[in-house]
Amino acid sequence: LLRHYASCLKVLVPLDCASAATMIALGAEEIYMGPLAYLTAIDTSITHALSPVDTYNNLVSVSQDELTRVMNLWR
Protein backbone atom coordinates (compact mmCIF):
# COMPACT_ATOMS: atom_id res chain seq x y z
CA LEU A 1 0.00 0.00 0.00
CA LEU A 2 2.81 2.42 0.83
CA ARG A 3 4.48 1.67 -2.51
CA HIS A 4 1.36 3.01 -4.22
CA TYR A 5 2.03 6.46 -2.72
CA ALA A 6 5.84 6.53 -2.51
CA SER A 7 8.48 5.24 -4.90
CA CYS A 8 11.17 5.25 -2.20
CA LEU A 9 10.49 4.54 1.47
CA LYS A 10 13.02 5.66 4.09
CA VAL A 11 12.43 5.09 7.81
CA LEU A 12 13.84 6.99 10.80
CA VAL A 13 13.92 5.08 14.11
CA PRO A 14 15.08 7.36 16.96
CA LEU A 15 14.33 4.85 19.76
CA ASP A 16 12.17 1.73 19.69
CA CYS A 17 10.23 0.40 16.76
CA ALA A 18 7.73 -2.32 17.68
CA SER A 19 5.11 -4.53 16.08
CA ALA A 20 3.63 -3.05 12.89
CA ALA A 21 6.19 -0.24 12.83
CA THR A 22 8.96 -2.84 12.55
CA MET A 23 7.17 -4.51 9.64
CA ILE A 24 6.96 -1.14 7.86
CA ALA A 25 10.65 -0.44 8.57
CA LEU A 26 11.71 -3.81 7.20
CA GLY A 27 9.90 -3.00 3.95
CA ALA A 28 11.83 0.24 3.46
CA GLU A 29 14.83 0.77 1.18
CA GLU A 30 16.72 2.52 3.96
CA ILE A 31 16.46 2.46 7.76
CA TYR A 32 18.15 5.21 9.77
CA MET A 33 18.54 4.31 13.44
CA GLY A 34 19.73 6.33 16.42
CA PRO A 35 22.43 4.95 18.76
CA LEU A 36 19.81 3.61 21.21
CA ALA A 37 17.32 2.41 18.58
CA TYR A 38 16.12 -1.15 18.22
CA LEU A 39 13.56 -3.09 16.22
CA THR A 40 11.28 -5.71 17.71
CA ALA A 41 8.62 -7.58 15.80
CA ILE A 42 6.42 -8.37 18.78
CA ASP A 43 5.57 -6.13 21.71
CA THR A 44 4.34 -8.83 24.06
CA SER A 45 1.52 -7.90 26.43
CA ILE A 46 1.40 -9.63 29.80
CA THR A 47 -0.44 -9.41 33.10
CA HIS A 48 1.79 -9.08 36.15
CA ALA A 49 1.21 -8.44 39.84
CA LEU A 50 2.42 -4.87 39.23
CA SER A 51 0.02 -4.27 36.32
CA PRO A 52 -2.50 -1.44 36.61
CA VAL A 53 -6.13 -2.26 37.35
CA ASP A 54 -9.32 -1.31 35.50
CA THR A 55 -12.51 0.12 37.02
CA TYR A 56 -13.53 -3.38 38.17
CA ASN A 57 -10.18 -3.90 39.94
CA ASN A 58 -9.03 -6.46 37.34
CA LEU A 59 -5.41 -6.48 36.25
CA VAL A 60 -4.81 -4.90 32.84
CA SER A 61 -2.23 -6.22 30.37
CA VAL A 62 0.85 -4.08 29.81
CA SER A 63 3.63 -4.45 27.29
CA GLN A 64 6.66 -6.47 28.34
CA ASP A 65 8.88 -3.57 27.31
CA GLU A 66 6.94 -1.14 29.53
CA LEU A 67 7.13 -3.50 32.51
CA THR A 68 10.87 -4.03 32.02
CA ARG A 69 11.46 -0.27 31.95
CA VAL A 70 9.52 0.24 35.20
CA MET A 71 11.40 -2.60 36.92
CA ASN A 72 14.73 -1.12 35.79
CA LEU A 73 13.76 2.27 37.23
CA TRP A 74 13.11 0.70 40.62
CA ARG A 75 16.51 -1.02 40.75
pTM of the model: 0.54
Do 39 and 51 share a domain, yes or no? no
Do 15 and 4 share a domain, yes or no? yes
Please report the pLDDT score of residue 37 as a whole number: 94
Q: Is the pLDDT of residue 14 over 90?
A: yes
What confidence category does residue 18 fall into, taking pLDDT thresholds of 50, 70 and 90?
confident
Q: Is the pLDDT of residue 4 over 80?
A: yes
Do 23 and 37 share a domain, yes or no? yes
Residue type present at position 47: T
What confidence category does residue 74 fall into, taking pLDDT thresholds of 50, 70 and 90?
confident
- pLDDT, averaged across the chain: 86
**Local structure of 31: helix, strand or coil:** strand
Question: pLDDT above 90 covers what percent of the chain?
Answer: 28
**Tally of domains within the chain:** 2
Domain that holds residue 57: 44-75
